[in-house]
Structure 1
């Protein structure tokens, strides 16, 4: 008897057809994919960081502090951080070593930040590859160095780029410790997380975000307890720095409570991240990308904003690592869109061109002196042009001494009229000034005085020394010349007939 062709050999019902083959399971990323996810972002970050690194030979006040503190002796730096700026103490010691190896001026000042941000970009790309695949990792890594804030702090001689890089690689160690729990992996995570916190104590908020991500991911009691023990070790390392920095809290008295600009800025970033997190996202790693990225994006700035209503501390650069979370979410979402939208390559190319075009004006502006609050080097050059040997020099207020500390050669031949003790022997950032009556007596011995001032419109310091400076200038001197530079005003005063 013949078998009907409508029946299969297993006795299936008539007209049944074989099921279509299942799509092949995604293969793990090869070495090429992993290399691209790390090297391409690092190359982009390095190129952006080196582009205009000298910023037209300008340097703003915080960088000026780094430059002159890092050029002090080790004992002098230790003396300083016991009284001021302990939160940046490890960074100052690191930069002291950089300048000891190569005193390359502005390039040496900023190159460590450039290299650190390149390492952070590579780490973001590899995080994305690890949690969502090679294309998502590559997209995340390329997005990260394009953020305006990342471009800005990649070119600043401060600790924020280094903190960001260390946080990124601590996150890698966390994922490794959760995936393959071993004592040495958790110890490595503890060491790198501690380093991040010692570079800037608010990096502890990123460590807290790691804990929130583990909780959201239900990583298990074993991982939770291991993370808790690790954080206890980090806290032991951090507590001495916290105690010392709390005694120096007056140094951040310039920070105001959060206002609409800060809230809107945080809200815009958080909303962007939440939109990118909406809907399905890949979940390949030991912790889902969504949980980790949202924790890094939202918890550190939100916690610092909340605390700042009681004790103002919020400055966006203190939580720069939040952009790591945003880059991961954007990268994963771009990868998802490229898989569902027709002509993904054309769309991706168009989006890339549009993003670069939109950011180009801001990127150009970031590489000018006007992009920062002030320019002590420009102020020093104006003092050199206006002053003559024997003239007096005053700083109104005293904290405006950055120009003379970074470019003392431009003040050669001028007499400091208010200084009692220099910054280095006094273990301070700007030195210690004389009592008001002695400042008056010194000022009256000068025929001409060059003053370095805040720009117009800034509140006047109400100390006896600052009041005395203003009173003597108003009563006994005339304005001879006024020059404005970025963030400062230089005024030459003279007695009658001395201009």
Structure 2
């Protein structure tokens, strides 16, 4: 058909109006909102983590283990992992790299955990944004950042913050694999989940929670099978670590049967999360928020508790990542509650002020040496105050050698009376002690002995070496001075007349 000349003339007469281009510096509103939702909780978590991060120059025994093990060579580390603590092996290797690049003492020990927890808070906020909208995401991120357990382990030189961050971002990969089910997305999820479980083997319970979430969401069978294949790959990768760590199970023999504190510590967040799950929330994507968050909150802790009534293994920090599920549910519940009040912004500000006021005393206490089980660095300083060169030193029991391992300078000039082989060449955490008769002979060669021991009331180890130490001290020495520090007692013993 030939166009009419009249129509062509009319078309040329109408001017073409082009929309003005948006300024390049102004991001789309949706992207800017998402950035604010993610960055605000991450910044809050980072600020809380840096506040008092040195904890008055204190370090408790587990951190002491991280510090001294991460300073070993890779060969010595590999030697150790064949004998002990293989469950934390990947984390020790990562921290070895940190100290190789920057030997920054307590700050280098704890900063990776602080950064990891900030990344976890960002991930929780983004999960809430994906599943229930920006306000629910922001609320979830802030709840996560303020949680006392999150504040605690954001400042601890152990693997739990890194595991928590890894689980949160694995959950993002799961949602991406469900939304865009391709081989590469499921492969990425399987690889990330495998690495997370190698950081700590109980992260496999988060993978199990992911499977329960997919079942709860009633997703198509091909998606559930895709998850099952990914989980099987994770199990294959994890199996060697699980076998070796089971052979080292005596290292967690200190864990008791679950008592009232453990049961309440699990039940209270679980019940609050269940209550928040009842609130209506906006659904976004194929997996509802409550279907994902409830298994992540409840299943890992419930599984460990159930097993612990047969073989005690439950410690709340082993499933720290459960707080991501709690924060998602609490964030969605808070968003629904604030939607129902006349002035939601004022209500949110008032609620935040109440939360900060309620948590402030505990937050301050968390940043003191008294917030942890013990303080080997303080014990090392007490030994230095009580001793002089040539004095002997004993650790009762032998596993209380953390002070000399983390602060060897404080013991310069003192004689270790029970040590046969140092921890590093022996491939152990605390070294190997002499037979009881040789310990007795060495003790009788000195006039004064500084003893680092457990506080009164702790069970006494019933080994020949420990019995011999107590017997010689009772018969041939007397107490001269004593220093109590957090979780330990340092006692100076001397021969009669040598005090």
Q: For the superposition of Structure 1 and Structure 2, which TM-score range results when normalised by the shorter chain?
A: over 0.9
Aligned to 1:179: 179
Return the offset for 1:360.
0.2
Q: Distance in 1 between matches of 2:141 and 2:420?
A: 51
Partner of 2:9: none
1:16-31 to 2 correspondences below 5 Å: 30-31=30-31
Count of residues in Structure 1 that have an aligned counterpart in Structure 2? 472
Shift of 1:95: 0.1
Pairing 1:109–2:109 present:
yes
* Residue aligning to 1:432: 432
Q: Are 1:132 and 1:285, in contact at CA under 8 Å, matched by a contact in 2? A: no
Deviations 1:175-202 (CA, angstroms, capped at 9, x unpaired): 0000110111111111111111000000
Give the secondary-structure state (helix, strand or coil) at the position aligned to 1:30: helix
Counterparts of 1:37 and 1:314 in 2: how far apart (Å)? 34
Match of 2:212 in 1: 212
Retained in 1: the 8 A contact 2:399–2:430? Answer: yes
What corresponds to 2:292 in structure 1?
Answer: 292
SS in 1 for 2:42: helix
Q: How does 1:37-56 map to 2 (within 5 A)?
A: 37-56=37-56
Look up the match of 1:340: 340
SS at structure 1 position matched to 2:97: helix
What residue in structure 1 maps to residue 13 of structure 2? none
Structure 1 position 412, deviation (Å):
0.4
- Work out whether 1:465 is the aligned partner of 2:465: yes
- Equivalence for 2:24: none
TM-score, normalised to structure 2, is: 0.94
Asked whether 1:135 is paired with 2:135, we answer yes
Distance 1:107 1:135 in 2: 34
Counterpart-to-counterpart distance in 2, 1:281 and 1:307: 34
Conservation of the 8 A alpha-carbon contact between 1:29 and 1:134: no
Correspondences of 1:273-422 after superposition (within 5 Å):
273-422=273-422
1:396-444: CA deviation from partner (whole Å, max 9, x where unpaired): 0000000000011100000000000000000000000001111001101
* 1:203 aligned partner: 203
- In structure 2, the residue matched to 1:87 is 87
Aligned residue in 2 for 1:69? 69
TM-score (norm 1): 0.94
SS where residue 342 of structure 1 aligns? coil
Cα deviation 1:27-81 (Å, max 9, x = unaligned): x981012101111111000000000000000000000000000000000000001
How far apart, CA to CA, are the structure 2 residues paired with 1:73 and 1:93?
10
Q: Distance in 2 between matches of 1:286 and 1:54?
A: 44
Contact (CA 8 Å) 2:279, 2:333: kept in 1 or not? no
Cα deviations by residue, 1:211-235 (Å, 9 ceiling, x for unpaired): 0000000111011000000011001
Q: Distance in 2 between matches of 1:223 and 1:308?
A: 33
Q: Distance in 2 between matches of 1:154 and 1:389?
A: 39
Write the distance in 1 (CA, Å) between the matches of 2:33 and 2:131: 13
Q: Is the 8 A contact 2:439 2:469 kept in 1?
A: yes
Residues 29, 133 of structure 1: 8 Å contact kept: no
Q: For 1:276 and 1:100, how far apart are their aligned partners in 2?
A: 45
In structure 2, what is the Cα distance between the partners aligned to 1:130 and 1:29? 16
CA distance, structure 2, for counterparts of residue 146 and residue 284 of structure 1 = 26
Quick check: 256-265 or 127-136, which moved more? 256-265
Q: Quick check: 2:41–2:142 contact (8 Å CA) kept in 1?
A: yes
Q: Distance in 2 between matches of 1:339 and 1:404?
A: 57
Counterpart for residue 18 of structure 1: none
Q: Which moved more, 1:273-282 or 1:303-312?
A: 273-282
Higher mean alpha-carbon deviation, 209-218 vs 341-350, is at 341-350
1:257 Cα deviation after fit:
1.0
- Name the counterpart of 1:452: 452
Unaligned runs of 5+ in 2: 1-27
Kindly indicate whether the alpha-carbon contact (under 8 Å) linking 2:50 and 2:114 is maintained by their aligned counterparts in 1. Answer: yes
Unaligned 5+ segments in structure 1 are 1-27
Return 32-41 or 406-415, whichever deviates more. Answer: 32-41
User: Alpha-carbon deviation of 1:260?
Assistant: 1.2
Alignment check: 8 A CA contact 1:132 1:284 kept: yes
**Quick one: distance in 2 between partners of 1:471 and 1:286?**
68
The equivalent residue for 1:224 is 224
Deviation at 1:286, TM superposition (A): 2.1
Q: CA deviation at 1:354?
A: 0.2
Q: CA deviation at 1:383?
A: 0.5
Contact 2:279/2:336 (8 A) holds in 1: no
2:67/2:109 contact within 8 Å kept: yes
Whole-angstrom CA distance in 2 between matches of 1:422 and 1:343:
65
Q: Could you tell me which residue of structure 2 aligns to residue 486 of structure 1? A: 486
Task: Tell me how far 1:261 sits from its aligned partner.
Answer: 1.1
Match runs of 1:156-171 below 5 Å: 156-171=156-171
Task: State the partner residue of 1:476.
Answer: 476
User: Contact 1:338–1:344 at 8 Å: present in 2 too?
Assistant: yes
Cα pair distance change 1:29/1:184, threshold 3 Å: farther
Q: Is the 8 A contact 2:210 2:295 kept in 1?
A: yes
Deviation at 1:285, TM superposition (A): 2.0
Distance 1:327 1:449 in 2: 51
Partner Cα separation in structure 2 for residue 82 and residue 393 of structure 1: 29
Name whichever of 166-175 and 35-44 sits farther off: 35-44
Shift of 1:279: 3.4
Distance 1:107 1:195 in 2: 25
